[in-house]
Structure 1
Amino acid sequence: MAPAITLAAEAPKLSAANTGFMLICSALVMLMTPGLAFFYGGMVRVKSTLNMLMMSFISLGIVTILWVLYGFSMAFGTDSGSLIGWNSDWVGLGNIGLTELWPGYTIPVFVFLVFQLMFAIITPALISGALADRVKFSAWALFIALWATVVYFPVAHWVWGAGGWAFELGVIDFAGGTAVHINAGAAALGVILVIGKRVGFKKDPMRPHSLPLVMLGAGLLWFGWFGFNAGSWLGNDDGVGALMFVNTQVATAAAMLAWLIYEKIRHGAFTTLGAASGAVAGLVAITPAGGAVTPLGAIAVGAIAGVLCAMAVGLKYKFGYDDSLDVVGVHLVGGVAGSLLIGLFASGKGQSTVEGLFYGGGLTQFWKQCAGVFAVLAYSLIVSAILAFILDKTMGMRVPEDDEIAGIDQAEHAETAYDFSGAGGGSARTAAAAAAVGGAESKKVDA
């Protein structure tokens, strides 16, 4: 009998299809940051619109440079103590071959790193919504640089980097419920506890100035999120990316409907702000869970998150913390909900064979999810508060009270979002002038 021959597993080869798909997904995730800017920009008062847009856009500049210099190496380099990565060959990205593949996948390293860069960009931008109306732009820019370095890059390694403690423990975070949303939401809470409330909080009306902008931003986020979620499987050779795409749509729809129903029962109206916020809550919640649950499970995840987040946004009035645009209520609560619900709804038929409680798997995965969720929450909250405290005591985090009242746009950017002096230009202005002349002639005749 001839001896058995063991064939070595064929090494992955570059896939043009997967590479193109991932480049498109990277562009979609990049679009989410301007989408977030519109979403937040419409929710603030007129006098803060430009500042809110800039707080998101500046992250595109700062985090991109840091990622090239050392961020990618810290997040995905060789593990050190399960806490941080490092690869000196990746510093500056000059020693990466153009066709060098990301280990175990069919896409180049450059494609993987640019996809992950877009995640690194939007995460600190998410924090900005909690700080609307009152933070110096220079202080915010420095906070982004420091926070990305000491919080985001290490946490990304914990959750997604080979050797990271959460990765090795088996914590499931398909596309960023822990590393992105809980991380940003906890950071937002830590910073606002340090810098305090807006002038007039709970006294002055602080309604959104442009709900159409909010809806536009929510739509761009929803669109971009398909790249955010489906792209996180780094290809779709086995259908898991397609499952994530479907679950993203399903959970978002369920969360939006659940928020609106809760809102109608609780407050008596279906609001556009509620629809936009509910959709974002669903997107947040399905982000960690979508590769592990069925579409029916996605409905449950979305509906539960929609109600929980709708309830949570009012907690700031009860407990007295000023989360301007509900980053804590939506991103922190939604991220926690989606991450923990994996322990209940994981079907064992998606990204892994892990089963949750409702599929006969017991509570093993639930406790793993708890470990990841609360470790990241505590680390981000504490370190973010320390960074805010240091910046506040050195350069000052807040604008002067007079500037806040008059408008942070003019004080920090020397611009305003809308020029009302020219309102009604063109034909409307000509008609108004003609009417004025006609009125003057009429007065002469009467005289």
Structure 2
Amino acid sequence: MQGDTAWLLTSAALVLLMTPGLAFFYGGMVRSKSVLNMLMMCFGAMGLIGVLWVVYGYSVAFGNDVGAGLLGDPFEALGLSGLMGGDALSTTGFAAFQGMFAIITVALIAGAVADRMRFGAWLLFAGLWATVVYFPVAHWVFAFDNEDSGVVGGWIANDLAALDFAGGTAVHINAGAAALALALVLGKRRGWPKEPMKPHNLPYVMLGAGLLWFGWFGFNAGSALGANEIAGVAFVNTLTATCAAMLGWLLTERLRDGKATSLGAASGVVAGLVAITPACAFVDTWGALSIGVIAGILCALAVGLKYRFGYDDSLDVVGVHLVGGLVGTVLIGFFGTTNVNEGSVDGLFYGGGADQLGKQVLGAVAVLAYSFLITSIIALIIKFTMGLRVSTEDEVAGIDESEHAESAYDFAGSRGGRAASVETEAGGAKKLEETKS
């Protein structure tokens, strides 16, 4: 028991590290005038959702069901009452572990609205979304019935019996659908897609991807809730699928664009991590390899859909997390096998029927539809009350200065005999001009 608790608490710390990793991953992909805002959106989610989780979020997600598998009792563990101290250490560890999931799920959405969303509006959105979307969906997916204690859990986990080991539906499909809805309500960035909006710091992107990969072992293997064989299976499959996805993305880039890029490598890593998340304890090595390659290729192609359909998902949350989450969740119906885990099912490629595939699709579609609908309503309410986005002038000048009164880089300092940069605006766009001394 003590070893299991130690692994769970270690995994919780690893998952928390993923959010700063995500901040660097996203921060490197935005323009230099927006990097601090992106970091703040991720760190803001850590602060806000961490508080909401311990006050009532855990109770809503894992309290005894009060509504047909849709919602846990928000008052059952209010403020984690009854969980702190004594014999409740393992439960407390579980609450901490799941709290990290809540934090990063909200932070994932931020990538879709980079460069243009007000920070105050983001925090309000994050709190409302976590309350009415993430906490209930976590109950649907992660709260299992316990006959010994009489606890009743969520409908996807128990009534539907769709498999999701570590959050393909509750985390990635949920966040991806929300990102699409919020981006649509918020509107496009000024100048997109005509103006180039290239990543300002690719080393940040690579660093962020590395931190995410490191922390993701806690995310997936930690979901075994103990130091056991299932944790080992999830750990190895997380490595395997991610490596395969990176190669799949790079191959797609090479064939399509003629070059394999560092941004593609980092994106492929994240796509593989996303796709293997729901399946990591339910498939064997061949299944993990297959899911990784398929996710790498499909996500690399999916990031271009925003140009075809005209939605401005700034950092490809939809293409990577929504599509990757759908790939991993649905493919359990093909690659699942009881050879690695008695709690798994045999998919179509392992002698099983189509029944589990249907359950996987239904669970994925239900979360997608709910998240998209409720997110749209929340975003519209905020838009027509306090407002969602910064002014055109502030967006052009840089959201870091307008929202935080800070700049990530000192462009005004002189060096090597060169005069300070002079900032001018012409035609609604900011241009930098340098003159020699």
Q: State which of 169, 174, 178 in structure 2 corresponds to 1:178.
A: 169
- Contact 2:182–2:375 at 8 Å: present in 1 too? yes
- Contact 2:63–2:76 at 8 Å: present in 1 too? no
The residue type paired with residue 31 of structure 1 is L
- In structure 2, relative to structure 1, the CA distance for the partners of 1:423 and 1:215 (3 Å cut) is farther
- Contact 1:259–1:275 at 8 Å: present in 2 too? yes
TM-score by length of 2: 0.91
Is 2:191 the partner of 1:205? no
Q: Cα offset for 1:357?
A: 0.3
CA distance in 1, matches of 2:74, 2:182: 31
The residue type paired with residue 125 of structure 1 is A
Is 2:81 the partner of 1:94? yes
Q: Cα offset for 1:69?
A: 1.0
State the partner residue of 1:57.
43
Q: State which of 131, 135, 149 in structure 1 corresponds to 2:113.
A: 131
Equivalences, count: 407
TM-score by length of 1: 0.89
Is 2:351 the partner of 1:364? no
CA distance in 1, matches of 2:197, 2:356: 42
Identity %: 60
CA distance in 2, matches of 1:405, 1:416: 14
Q: State which of 208, 220, 245 in structure 1 corresponds to 2:235.
A: 245
- Contact 1:44–1:208 at 8 Å: present in 2 too? yes
Q: Cα offset for 1:99?
A: 3.5
State the partner residue of 1:217.
208
Give me the CA root mean square deviation: 1.2
Q: State which of 199, 214, 222 in structure 2 corresponds to 1:231.
A: 222
Deviation digits for residues 298-339 of structure 1 (CA, Å, limit 9, x no counterpart): 000000000000000000000000000000000000000000
State the partner residue of 2:429.
none
Deviation digits for residues 46-72 of structure 1 (CA, Å, limit 9, x no counterpart): 000000000100011100111111100
SS of equivalent to 1:109: helix
The residue type paired with residue 183 of structure 2 is I
Q: State which of 29, 32, 53 in structure 2 corresponds to 1:67.
A: 53
State the partner residue of 1:401.
392
- Contact 2:64–2:76 at 8 Å: present in 1 too? no
Residues 31-180 of structure 1 correspond to what in structure 2 (within 5 A)?
Answer: 31-80=17-66, 81-86=68-73, 88-101=75-88, 108-162=90-144, 163-168=153-158, 169-180=160-171
Is 2:338 the partner of 1:348? yes
Q: Which runs of 4+ in 1 moved over 3 A?
A: 421-424
State the partner residue of 2:305.
315
The residue type paired with residue 126 of structure 1 is L
Deviation digits for residues 239-260 of structure 1 (CA, Å, limit 9, x no counterpart): 0110000000000000000000
- Contact 1:89–1:96 at 8 Å: present in 2 too? no
CA distance in 1, matches of 2:120, 2:355: 45
CA distance in 1, matches of 2:344, 2:31: 48
CA distance in 2, matches of 1:143, 1:97: 30
State the partner residue of 2:9.
23
Is 2:282 the partner of 1:292? yes
Q: Cα offset for 1:94?
A: 3.3
SS of equivalent to 1:108: helix
- Contact 1:127–1:187 at 8 Å: present in 2 too? yes
CA distance in 2, matches of 1:57, 1:348: 40
- Contact 2:238–2:276 at 8 Å: present in 1 too? yes
SS of equivalent to 2:198: coil
The residue type paired with residue 84 of structure 1 is L
SS of equivalent to 2:65: strand
Q: Cα offset for 1:89?
A: 4.1
- Contact 2:244–2:293 at 8 Å: present in 1 too? yes
Is 2:264 the partner of 1:277? no
- In structure 2, relative to structure 1, the CA distance for the partners of 1:215 and 1:423 (3 Å cut) is farther
Unpaired segments ≥5 residues, structure 1? 1-14, 102-106, 434-447
CA distance in 1, matches of 2:76, 2:191: 51
- In structure 2, relative to structure 1, the CA distance for the partners of 1:353 and 1:141 (3 Å cut) is closer
Q: Cα offset for 1:295?
A: 1.1
SS of equivalent to 2:77: helix
SS of equivalent to 2:312: coil
CA distance in 1, matches of 2:100, 2:233: 22
Is 2:318 the partner of 1:328? yes
- In structure 2, relative to structure 1, the CA distance for the partners of 1:290 and 1:61 (3 Å cut) is same
Residues 408-447 of structure 1 correspond to what in structure 2 (within 5 A)?
Answer: 408-422=399-413
Deviation digits for residues 194-238 of structure 1 (CA, Å, limit 9, x no counterpart): 11100000111100000000000000000000000000010133x
State the partner residue of 1:303.
293
Deviation digits for residues 2-35 of structure 1 (CA, Å, limit 9, x no counterpart): xxxxxxxxxxxxx111111111100000000000
Unpaired segments ≥5 residues, structure 2? 145-152, 419-437
- Contact 2:248–2:293 at 8 Å: present in 1 too? yes
Q: Cα offset for 1:108?
A: 1.2
The residue type paired with residue 29 of structure 1 is V
CA distance in 1, matches of 2:392, 2:157: 45
- Contact 1:99–1:108 at 8 Å: present in 2 too? no
- In structure 2, relative to structure 1, the CA distance for the partners of 1:66 and 1:296 (3 Å cut) is same
State the partner residue of 1:442.
none
CA distance in 1, matches of 2:292, 2:154: 29
- Contact 2:57–2:74 at 8 Å: present in 1 too? no
